[in-house]
Structure 1
Amino acid sequence: MAEVPQAGEFQMPQDKFVFLHIDLNSFFASVEQQLHPEYRNRPLAVVPTKSDTTACIAASYEAKALGIKTGTLVGEAKRVCPEIILIHGNHAEYAKYSHAIADAVELVCPVAHTPSIDEMVCQLMGREQQPENARRIAYDVKQSIYTHVGEALRCSIGMAPNRYLAKIASDMQKPDGLIGLLPSQLPRAIAHLALRDLPGVGARTEARLNAQGIHTMPQLLALDRHGMHRLWDSVWGDRIYHWLHGHITGDDGAPIPQEMQKSLGHSHVLAPEHRTLEGSWAVAHKLLHKAAMRLRMEKFYAGSMTLHIRYALNREQADRMRAKQHFSGLKHTGWGMEARFPEAQDTLTLLEVLQKLWQKRPQGPDFEKPFFVGVTLGRLLQEASYNPGLFAAQDRRSQLSSAIDQLNLKHGHTTVHLAGMMSAKESAPTRIAFTQIPVQYGSEWM
């Protein structure tokens, strides 16, 4: 990890805005309200299924006003608001609108980063950084989205000297907000926030800070850089210090670039008909099929694979074992194992690895009701850095995978597949992506 600039190496705070962070408000629900004018100004939730035990993926602001939010169980949402509109999520539409919004933003200011499907970051240059000019650009971005994409789509924009503060500012006023944080306004402008309002501070980090005597933002902001370093016990503390004080360090909290991507994969909560050993294997096979295809489309080789399985438990089993609780209320236990191997990207080689992992899964009456499967490919190596082996068999497998990809890209991702996933061919569809924009490969999204 790169060193944080020391005193004198970073640009001292100036009252200017370098980044705009655009956060699309209740994005999935707003897309549905744009697509269906009859849903506007009404409580609406986007859901994976309409089962009472599943959770809402997103909620409109009308639903949020009633206390319904992301993670609320569908049954609870219906109890709170019997007339709530429940919509099956459509990742293809959300990706299409995300790209359309990015195009609308580009008409005003280039998009420098896309942290997630409902976030975009613009970096301002030269005179654009002057506060009055940055505000004008932000208002123009809002108008461009309204004019070119749709009136139901609103965004909150945060303006700040660095990306970290811009992200914080974008969350401070919703919906349709516009907040700027200048160094001259710090730290008082963020002193009222909770620790959990800081990007990267979740429940575990908050508990760790609490254990060290930090319970409020004023307590955190009172620390100098060395104190912040000690608090985090890493260079991350130095970065947090500089970002919160509005410094322009050149290290603005950017996500890991693609060339540093470490893993990719898919997971799936099994439908009732697949909650058997045979059904879960078929779904795992399908997940590998998708992951291997993505691996090739994104031009990577993988050097490791991790298989995760969660097993549902009855009351007696849950009392006897260290059970966890799923958001649906289901008690379960989990298992996972990683295998490492020479870098590969063809489906047959990866399937052999999956089969070996599957054979090592736990056995016995406590592990007969799988309800969740995940397959992750890791230790990624860019295709350009891969040294081909000397064995023709691997080349033939790669050629076979390439031929299958060409057919599936043209006719649908499961048109040609291995027999092991037949019973789960329609299972594990592409889910709504929070942390990335789904990519269209051929006729489908992934």
Structure 2
Amino acid sequence: MSFAPHPDRFQFLHIDLNSFFASVEQQLHPEYRGKPVAVVPTTADTTCCIAASYEAKAVGVRTGTQVGEAKKMCPGIILIEGSHTEYAKYSAAISEAVELVCPVSHHPSIDEMVCELMGREQEPPRARRIALDIKQSIYKNVGEALRCSIGMAPNRYLAKIASDMQKPDGLIGLLPSQLPRALEHLDLRDLPGVGARTEARLKAQGIQTMPQLLALDHKQMHHLWNSVWGDRIYHWLRGGDTGDDGAPVGSELQKSLGHSHVMAPEFRNDEGAWAIANKLLHKAAMRLRMEKFYAGSLSLTIRYQLTREQAERMRSKRHTSGIRQSGWGMEAKFRHCQDTLTLLEAMRGIWQQRPQGEECRRPFFVGVTLRNLIPENEYQEELFGDEGNRAQLSQTMDRLNLKYGHTTLHFGSMLPARESAPTRIAFTQIPVQYGVDYM
């Protein structure tokens, strides 16, 4: 099958918000503007930076830099515990500001938006004017500390690439007549979908550089990926449209949902971990009902911090935070349900079977996942009804928590962690507002 490239027009704009989380903090706190800022899940030295301002990036602090290292690299760095709610609000506000100029057709992530241009909007001068107006709309309607880079291209894949080519506050267009030579200066890792493992696989097949990749014909590109993905990339890099334009392939029915948390030092014991697990389950159960699913199993994951001697003896791996760790997990299956009390009982049964050895004294990470989901319309009611009115209890909790915040009414076992384990900062997941909270 052959795909003709578009004429010299831009069909898509990809808007990439620059250092989004850090920029939101600088917008909220004018005193932080022009200063190095890093957003972190907690202020513990062993955790990692979620995002860094451009002032911090200038001295080498990046997403994933350990907090302790960031302090050494930039002694004056300002560390801020991230706020999922604030970032979700700003993402929504920026989307509204973009909509004032051009409709948003797709949200790939919390800090990215895509606009599809129509008719004469696709003409390069008009597309550039729209992009500049989007920048101005964000500046005027949301905040002066918020900047974006915009890529213009004939398909979404190229628009995403273009948005990364000039940061911060960039505006780059890739026209079909410039392709593929305009991409020759890029690294293989600059291509969306090419991570470390894919890059290693390409290099093992003799593809070391972008010019080598671009020199391949259609058949060779298919063989290189050994899938239709090779065909798509071949056409995308030449300005073609394969019908999906880089959109993620639609997945089947959602199979799971859950939450996880790296605990603050004061919670790194059995009591703290149990309280955190309760809060994570409380949020997951509420989401389960809001998204109209029933769960058929629950998984609990715990990771434990090891001493150097324990780690060497067990040949353990390091967590992304740098902590030497061992891990344990277990899954419980049950009749499909969605009420919090039944799910809590299942988790308590798992908790009682957790390991008790010396290596399991310092839990630092807890994850709770609800699996084997089915939609509400496929659920078969129990023959003898809802014993104890558990569903009604959960519905009452939801009504109050939606109105006043999701920790307003909860079971006592999560009380010690009521203010801990906030909703994790979303990257690829678009935040959804339930009542007054984002999850």
TM range (shorter): over 0.9
Contact 2:42 2:264 in 1 (8 A): no
Equivalent position of 1:278 in the other structure: 271
| Runs of at least 5 residues in structure 2 that lack an aligned partner in the other structure | none
What SS class does the counterpart of residue 294 from structure 1 fall into? helix
Answering whether residue 110 of structure 2 is matched by residue 121 of structure 1, we say no
Counterpart of 1:354 (choices 347, 355, 375) is: 347
Contact 2:47 2:322 in 1 (8 A): no
Distance in 2 (alpha carbons) for counterparts of 1:384 and 1:228: 44
Normalising by structure 1, report the TM-score.
Answer: 0.91
Counterpart of 2:286 (choices 285, 293, 297) is: 293
What SS class does the counterpart of residue 208 from structure 1 fall into? helix
What letter is aligned with 2:426?
Answer: A
Equivalent position of 1:336 in the other structure: 329
What letter is aligned with 2:106?
Answer: H
Counterparts of residues 357-368 of structure 1 (less than 5 Å): 357-368=350-361
Q: Mean alpha-carbon deviation: is it higher for 275-284 or for 116-125? A: 275-284
Distance in 1 (alpha carbons) for counterparts of 2:371 and 2:249: 15
Distance in 2 (alpha carbons) for counterparts of 1:179 and 1:201: 21
Counterparts of residues 127-206 of structure 1 (less than 5 Å): 127-206=120-199
Normalising by structure 2, report the TM-score.
Answer: 0.92
Equivalent position of 2:38 in the other structure: 45
1:105-139 superposed Cα distances (whole Å, 9 cap, x missing partner)? 00011111111111111111222222222111111
What SS class does the counterpart of residue 105 from structure 2 fall into? strand
Deviation at 1:335, TM superposition (A): 2.6
Distance in 1 (alpha carbons) for counterparts of 2:8 and 2:297: 47
| Runs of at least 5 residues in structure 1 that lack an aligned partner in the other structure | 1-6
Contact 2:22 2:38 in 1 (8 A): yes
Change (3 A) 1:420 1:142: same
Counterparts of residues 427-446 of structure 1 (less than 5 Å): 427-446=420-439
Deviation at 1:299, TM superposition (A): 2.2
RMSD, aligned α-carbons: 2.3
What letter is aligned with 2:23?
Answer: S
Counterpart of 1:408 (choices 397, 401, 404) is: 401
Distance in 2 (alpha carbons) for counterparts of 1:367 and 1:52: 21
Deviation at 1:56, TM superposition (A): 1.9
Deviation at 1:69, TM superposition (A): 1.7
Change (3 A) 1:34 1:163: same
1:268-304 superposed Cα distances (whole Å, 9 cap, x missing partner)? 1122232223332222121111111112122233344
Contact 1:259 1:382 in 2 (8 A): no
Deviation at 1:173, TM superposition (A): 0.5
1:404-442 superposed Cα distances (whole Å, 9 cap, x missing partner)? 111222232122222332332222112221223433322
Deviating beyond 6 angstroms after TM superposition, the runs of 4 or more aligned structure 1 residues are: none
Q: Mean alpha-carbon deviation: is it higher for 431-440 or for 252-261? A: 252-261
Counterpart of 1:228 (choices 214, 221, 240) is: 221
Equivalent position of 1:306 in the other structure: 299
Deviation at 1:333, TM superposition (A): 1.7
What SS class does the counterpart of residue 150 from structure 2 fall into? strand
Q: Mean alpha-carbon deviation: is it higher for 273-282 or for 189-198? A: 273-282
Counterpart of 1:82 (choices 54, 65, 75) is: 75
Contact 2:46 2:323 in 1 (8 A): no
Deviation at 1:373, TM superposition (A): 0.9
- In the comparison of the two structures, how many residue pairs are matched? 439
Answering whether residue 200 of structure 2 is matched by residue 211 of structure 1, we say no
Answering whether residue 104 of structure 2 is matched by residue 111 of structure 1, we say yes
Counterpart of 2:13 (choices 20, 28, 38) is: 20
Change (3 A) 1:67 1:413: same
Contact 2:44 2:264 in 1 (8 A): no
Change (3 A) 1:348 1:259: farther
Distance in 2 (alpha carbons) for counterparts of 1:258 and 1:348: 30
Deviation at 1:140, TM superposition (A): 1.1
Change (3 A) 1:156 1:260: farther
Distance in 2 (alpha carbons) for counterparts of 1:291 and 1:358: 17
Equivalent position of 1:4 in the other structure: none
Distance in 1 (alpha carbons) for counterparts of 2:363 and 2:14: 41
Answering whether residue 247 of structure 2 is matched by residue 247 of structure 1, we say no
Deviation at 1:384, TM superposition (A): 4.2
Seq. identity, %: 73
1:6-53 superposed Cα distances (whole Å, 9 cap, x missing partner)? x14x45443222211100111112122222222222222222333333
What letter is aligned with 1:35?
Answer: L
Change (3 A) 1:352 1:53: same
